[in-house]
Amino acid sequence: MGTVHARSLEPLPANGPDFGALGEEAEFVEVEPEAKQEILENKDVVVQHVHFDGLGRTKDDIIICEIGDVFKAKNLIEVMRKSHEAREKLLRLGIFRQVDVLIDTCQGDDALPNGLDVTFEVTELRRLTGSYNTMVGNNEGSMVLGLKLPNLLGRAEKVTFQFSYGTKETSYGLSFFKPQPGNFERNFSVNLYKVTGQFPWSSLRETDRGVSAEYSFPIWKTSHTVKWEGVWRELGCLSRTASFAVRKESGHSLKSSLSHAMVIDSRNSSILPRRGALLKVNQELAGYTGGDVSFIKEDFELQLNKQLVFDSVFSTSLWGGVLVPIGDKPSSIADRFYLGGPTSVRGFSMHSVGPQSEGDYLGGEAYWAGGLHLYTPLPFRPGQGGFGELFRTHFFLNAGNLCNLNYGEGPKAHIRKLAECIRWSYGAGIVLRLGNIARLELNYCVPMGVQKGDRDEFQMWFLLEGRSVLCT
């Protein structure tokens, strides 16, 4: 919580009978237990001044917005709580390395008898911070260099630059972020990037050079993001044996799209949540602001978690999406959806479900996927209370389907197509939670409903939150 120092309120008129006792306990960090609490709450105080020590390039107006509530506190407990909240808000801005709060009685000529001064002692981040990592994975090693300029112009603007130099591909990204002063949830950012990716399941190599501008704002409990993105995409074959269907997609295209995303997240954690729900809805319209790719794309994700007896959690999730090309041109392989792999339908190779040509998976224009999961503590609870809490046993049932839309048949026919030949799988495994950012899964999975052309895998998988490392 930080350090809160409270000193004796000697200049106050000795109304309360326990005033002297409070003075002796001035050095303690924590608030006294119940016996003293009512006394503190009864004391009306007024916050007269709020001081900031250690400000350099940060401008005043954004600070004032964050600490405005402190002035509204009516008693000491509220002062401490509001100061704590202000401290959290200041840290959230991402411009201070450390924030300490000091609450003191007011001194000076204009001091009221019950006046308090709150002082925030802050340490600003340096103007330029850098990082250097090496990364190994996906048959490629790369060196990642990051540069960050926090609080560039004094109002919590941030510029980050990341450069990744790999054995196969090189990518970089530059991004500028600016929150609205006083309202951190409303923010604006501009990104410039070049990203290359290799997709061996489609024998495709894609290079994206793009610029995007996005604006996020909250409405009630939801968070919305509106984004414009312009991408120059270059597709090529990964090998000489790529199928002709993939060869036909090679070349350059320009996509200029507007998208809107809405997220409601009431889960207590994004990795192994115990309760709460998540709903993400995303729509994208391409083609009306330039470019030569034209489509409308919708996709959603829904997740519900419920805690059961014996510390188990039951979780269901559902994803779906549809891509409708506008005009005569068919959809591009870079825009379509893919299904399969440890993040969607376990038991099938990465993105290896659905329409394919000579072994190369082409993706589909409509898909759905769902899962039922049951997380329980490890049997016999080894390491309970400590390391064992990071592990969970995991039982799952995944299903999904992917197809192309050939309009002219009507939506009923598409729904029917998506409902037949469902791919599904079931299995069990162990999940390890890595901090709050990743999870490691080791699963034994039985794929069912495998259709001609799908590639299923009857193997163990290590899944690392979005990246998968195959372990046979």
Q: Which residues bind other proteins (CB under 8 A)?
A: 232, 234-237, 240, 244, 247-254, 290-292, 328-329, 332, 358
Give the distance from CA 183 to its chain's centroid. 19
Closest distance to other proteins from the beta carbon of 227 (Å): 20
Burial of 246 (0-12, 13-18, 19+ CB in 10 A): buried
Q: Provide, rounded to whole angstroms, the least separation between the CB of residue 142 and other proteins.
A: 22
Query: Cα separation of 440 and 433, whole Å?
Result: 6
CB 274, min distance to other proteins, A: 47
Q: Which is nearer to other proteins, 150 or 291 (CB)?
A: 291
Q: Which is nearer to other proteins, 213 or 374 (CB)?
A: 213
CB atoms < 10 A from the CB of 17, how many? 8
Separation CA 146–CA 162 (nearest Å): 4
| Min CB(102)–other proteins separation in Å | 56
Under a CB-based contact definition with an 8 Å cutoff, are residues 458 and 447 in contact?
Answer: yes
Q: Which amino acid does the sequence have at 241?
A: T
Alpha carbon distances (Å) from 386 to 375, 383, 390, 436, 438 = 18, 6, 8, 16, 18
Q: Select 177 or 199, whichever has its Cβ closest to other proteins.
A: 199
Of residues 184, 454, 206, the one with CA closest to residue 341: 454
Q: How far is the CB of 212 from other proteins (least distance, A)?
A: 16
- Minimum gap (Å) between residue 83 Cβ and other proteins: 52
Task: Work out how close the CB of 287 gets to other proteins at its nearest, in angstroms, rounded to a whole number.
Answer: 10
Going by C-beta distance under 8 Å and a sequence separation of 6 or more, which residues neighbour residue 408?
A: none
Element (H, E) at 137: strand 129-137
Measure the CA angle with vertex 433, ends 428 and 438; round to 5°.
105
Smallest distance from the beta carbon of 292 to other proteins, in angstroms?
5
For other proteins, the closer CB: 240 or 412: 240
Distance in Å, CB of 251 to other proteins, minimum = 3
CB of 362 to other proteins, least distance (A): 15
Closer residue to other proteins in complex, CB, 218/251: 251
* CB closer to other proteins out of 154 and 359: 359
Give the residue with the Cβ less far from other proteins, 114 or 332: 332
All residues at 6 or more sequence positions from 468 whose CB lies less than 8 Å from its CB, including other chains = 341, 342, 343, 350, 461, 462
Phi, psi of 258 (to 5 degrees): -110, 135
Q: Which CB atom, from 218 or from 330, has the smaller least distance to other proteins?
A: 330
Q: Residue 141: helix, strand or coil by DSSP?
A: strand
Query: Are 237 and 250 in contact, with CB atoms under 8 Å apart?
Result: yes
The CA-based angle 99-80-58, given to 5 degrees, is 30
In whole angstroms, give the CA distance from residue 42 to residue 62: 32
Minimum Å gap between C-beta 334 and other proteins is 10
The two three-digit tokens of residue 372, written as one number = 């039922």
Smallest gap from residue 288 Cβ to other proteins (A):
12
Beta carbons within 8 Å of 240's beta carbon, 6+ residues apart? none
Our CB check for other proteins shows the closer of 253 and 393 to be: 253
Burial (Cβ within 10 Å: 0-12, 13-18, ≥19) of residue 46? middle
Residue 66 or 206: the one with the smaller Cβ distance to other proteins is 206
Taking the least distance from each CB to other proteins, the nearer of 203 and 443 is 203
Considering beta carbons, is residue 325 or 347 the nearer one to other proteins? Answer: 325
Residue-wise burial string across 154-177, b where 16 or more C-beta atoms lie within 10 A, e elsewhere: ebbbbbbebbbebeebebebbbbb
Contacts of residue 258, Cβ cutoff 8 Å, sequence gap at least 6 = 226, 227, 228, 284, 285, 286, 288, 289
